[in-house]
Amino acid sequence: MARFLIEVPHGTDTVACARAVQVFLSTGSHFLTHADWGCMDGVHSAWMVVEVGSKAEALAIVPPAFRSGTRVVALNSFSLEQIERTLRRHGALGEATRGPDGG
């Protein structure tokens, strides 16, 4: 199974926000009832990390009314060894110790 981050934005006004949460909580879906919300910090989206077989399966978890705005991202991990091999292959291994601003 692959891991996916599902990001579901919704309207920012109080009623739209409350209705989105209500839809998620009333579905009975474990994924939806355990979503994390950013609304209290002014970011009107729900997030879930799920393990399913494909992006299509991940998107199918989302209620149909919210699917068109949903973003599904396949997640992966890296080992330090993998990254060092990649940097070595591109002649940039020494650059890895510097910060993103070059310093």
Tell me which DSSP letter residue 102 carries: -
Q: What is the pLDDT of residue 96?
A: 47
Does residue 68 contact residue 18 with C-beta atoms inside 8 Å? no
Q: What is the pLDDT of residues 22-76, one digit of tens each?
A: 999 999 999 999 999 999 999 999 999 999 999 999 999 999 999 999 999 999 9
Q: Is the pLDDT of residue 98 over 80?
A: no
As a three-state string, the secondary structure of 36-95 is EECHHHCCCEEEEEEEECCHHHHHHHCCHHHHHHCEEEEECCCCHHHHHHHHHHCCCHHH
Task: Tell me the C-alpha distance between 21 and 15, whole Å.
Answer: 10
